[in-house]
Chain A
Amino acid sequence: MSRETQIPPQLLIELARQRGWALEPQRASALRPLLESLLRGLALVAERLPPEAPPAPGGLSGSLV
């Protein structure tokens, strides 16, 4: 998602509905700037990742079953 994207509240309402819960329009509007901020930050994280970086394993090296 582009850092410049504005998320339509209706999209959030529809995604919530698909998950089986109701998101009222005023809640969707309140949520939108928070979500946009988090997604902008995560997009920046993605930009900084070297291609070879793998996901972290579930535990610390050598420590798990």
Chain B
Amino acid sequence: MSGDQAAFLSAAELGRRLAARELSPVEVVQELLGRIERLDPGLNSFITVTAERALADARAAEAEIAAGARRGPLHGVPIALKDIFDTAGVRTTCGSQILATHVPGVDAAVVQRLRAAGTVLLGKLNLHEFAYGTTTTNPHYGACRNPWNRDRIPGGSSGGSGAALAAGLCPLSLGTDTGGSIRIPASVCGVVGLKPTFGRVTRRGVWPLAWTLDHVGPMARTVEDAALLLDAVAGHNPEDPWSSRAPAPGFARDLERGVDGLRVGIPRRVFFEHLEPDVGGAVDEVIACLERIGARTREVDWPYVEHAYTAFHGLLASEASAFHGAWLRDRPHDYGEPVRQALELGSFVPAVDYVNARRMQWLLRDGLSAAFREVDVIVTPSLPRTAPPIGEPMSREPDRAWNRFLAPFNLTGSPAISVPCGFDRAGLPIGLQIVGPAFDEARVLRVARAYERETDWHTRRPPGVS
């Protein structure tokens, strides 16, 4: 194989070609390691590159596949992980100074599952410090840059994942999402990010930000790849008290069923307010596209949603400060300033406000369940805008926070995906959010795939990464 032939293949296609022995896992890894060496100094998406381990795992995969012992569709396919998943023998920093030398002895449960599926770990990806923020302008490991415009942020907190996928440095990644941290980088980097249902993917061995809001989920360049990666990591873990017992069927099973007759809800209030014009235009075109291919759209209301962001912020701030309390006391100067201030803030939220935020969470879940009796999915813009410049302050005020369309679904635990749906006039990606009822990721993925099939946004590449 010569040149960068595998870099932008989907994981599904890579897996097929590896199985047919048209490609070698070792050569694919060598190609991606070469790209990381060449392109990542300008992006800063990786914190740690596990080159030797990747090559060893690729050789093992090649031998197993050659011996007829293929483990599944992702056998031999490379993956890079947000540096918040414990990896045995590989340092896991959480993007922090505090854990800069932390080398876990045990893999996170999802990392064990990825190993069992035969994936090949390329390395650990940059993130917002402790996943507590949405920019990935990391004070300890450097600002991660958006491949579509290197003066812009890649979003966060899983910003390294979004940047590495968009730049063709890896075909798959796992991220975490507490208030949009998978869907934000997916949106602004022009890739796919799925926050599954709360509890669907085990968090054992994943460093927490806020226990009642944290989700683990796949990031990829295609909807099919996100489904295959979810297949690899979903399912009950008896060692994780938050892990769901709901059956985890094949998430790719309905991908090509289309949307004919499906009821698509449009929550105009809150979710379509104060959009950048190019974002609003792109999402209007999505709605027209879904109607054209057979979906029936209608407006839906969601009572109390105007309070969702504040309730989310109250829970996030309190829980994060509870987790970080000892370090905030003993090592405050080892935090970057924005995270330190956010942790100080959360330390002063009264318990009664925390409980009332949990009560609002219940009302929001109840209201959304009612909406899902009238529609099958809900679509919204992922974000009100495209990627901001590096260094622009990001608000957490409810009417200005750029993740205000995403965080409500962390409160409800609903499955929600961001898929590319266009570009603004500056050439920056725009994302569409599709949300479904709890434990129906298959429906969300089906709608996402139906839209993806009608467009070519997911095939476009950032400048300078070919």
A interface residues, Cβ below 8 angstroms from B: 1, 12, 15-16, 19-23, 27, 30-31, 34-35, 37-39, 41-46, 48-50, 53-65
Chain B residue numbers with a CB within 8 Å of A30 are: 341
Residues on A with beta carbons closer than 8 Å to the beta carbon of B349: 38-39, 42
Knowing A16-B347, A31-B344, A44-B310 touch, does A53 contact B362 (C-beta < 8 A)? yes
Dominant SS among interface residues on chain B: helix
Establish whether residues A59 and B328, one from each chain, have CB atoms under 8 Å apart when the complex forms. Answer: no
- Bound CA span A57–B413, Å: 11
CB <8 Å contact, B325 and A27? no
CB–CB A60/B244 < 8 A? yes
B417 to chain A, nearest CB (A): 18
B311 within 8 A of A: yes
Q: Does B296 contact A (CB under 8 A)?
A: no
Known: A31-B344, A48-B307, A63-B245. 17 other contacts (CB 8 A): A30-B341, A42-B310, A42-B314, A44-B310, A45-B311, A46-B352, A53-B359, A55-B361, A56-B365, A56-B411, A59-B199, A60-B197, A61-B438, A62-B246, A63-B197, A63-B438, A65-B238
Is the Cβ of B363 less than 8 Å from the Cβ of A60?
no
Q: A19-B347, A45-B311 are in contact. Are A56 and B244 (CB under 8 A)?
A: no
> Most chain-B Cβ atoms within 10 A of its Cβ — which of A31, A34, A42, A43?
A42
Q: Looking across the interface, which residue of chain B has its beta carbon closest to that of A11?
A: B348
Instruction: Count how many pairs of residues, one from A and one from B, have CB atoms less than 8 Å apart in the complex.
Output: 124
CA distance A50 to B363 in the complex (A): 9
How far is it, in angstroms, between the C-alpha of A20 and the C-alpha of B413 when the chains are bound? Answer: 34
Q: How far is the CB of A28 from chain B (nearest CB, A)?
A: 9
Which residue in chain B gives the minimum CB-CB distance to A52?
A: B359
Does B198 belong to the interface (CB within 8 Å)?
yes
Complexed CA–CA distance, A62 and B246 (Å): 8
Chain B residues in 8 Å Cβ range of A54: 359, 362
Query: Which of the listed residues A30, A59, A61 has the most CB atoms from chain B within 10 Å of its own CB?
Result: A59
Which of these, B242, B311, B344, contacts A27 with CB under 8 Å?
B344
Q: Cβ of A55 and Cβ of B362 under 8 Å apart?
A: yes
Supposing A1-B350, A38-B349 touch, asked if A46 and B439 sit within 8 A by C-beta, the answer is no
Interface residues of B in 340-397 (CB under 8 A from A): 341, 344-345, 347-350, 352-353, 355-363, 365, 397
Ranked 6 nearest A-B pairs via Cβ = A41-B310, A55-B358, A56-B361, A56-B362, A21-B329, A42-B353
**Sample (10) of A-B pairs whose CB atoms are under 8 Å apart:** A20-B329, A21-B329, A27-B344, A31-B341, A31-B348, A46-B356, A49-B359, A60-B438, A63-B438, A64-B242
CB distance from A4 to the nearest CB of B (A): 16
Interchain nearest-CB distance for B305 vs A (Å): 11
Known A41-B310, A42-B314, A49-B360; contact A60-B344, beta-carbon cutoff 8 A: no
Contact B341 A41 (CB under 8 A): no
B interface residues, tally (CB under 8 Å): 47
B30 contacts partner chain A, Cβ-Cβ < 8 Å: no
Q: Residues of A contacting B345 with CB < 8 Å?
A: 31, 34-35, 38
- Which residues does chain B contribute within 8 Å of A44, judged by CB atoms? 307, 310
Asked if B311 and A23 make an inter-chain contact with CB atoms under 8 angstroms apart, the answer reads no
**Contact yes or no, A49 B314, CB < 8 A:** no
B317 neighbours in A (Cβ, 8 Å): 38
CA distance A47 to B434 in the complex (A): 31
* A30 CA / B358 CA spacing, docked (Å): 27
- When chains A and B are docked, how far (Å) is the Cα of A46 from the Cα of B352? 9
Is B97 an interface residue, CB under 8 A from the partner?
no
Contact of A19 among B242, B329, B362 (CB under 8 A): B329
Residues A60 and B198 in contact, CB atoms below 8 Å apart: yes
> What B residues does A59 contact at CB under 8 A?
198-199, 242, 244, 413
Task: Report the minimum CB–CB distance from B243 to chain A (whole Å).
Answer: 8
A residues within 8 A CB of B72?
Answer: none
Report whether B307 and A60 are in contact in the complex, using a CB–CB cutoff of 8 Å: no
B398 at the A interface (CB under 8 A)? yes
Q: Is B241 an interface position by the 8 A CB rule? A: yes
CA distance A31 to B347 in the complex (A): 11
Q: Which residues of B contact A19 (CB under 8 A)?
A: 325, 329, 347
B140 within 8 A of A: no
Cβ of A64 and Cβ of B245 under 8 Å apart? yes
Interface membership of chain B positions 203-214, coded 1 if the CB is closer than 8 angstroms to chain A and 0 otherwise: 000000000100
Residues in A neighbouring B352, C-beta threshold 8 A: 46
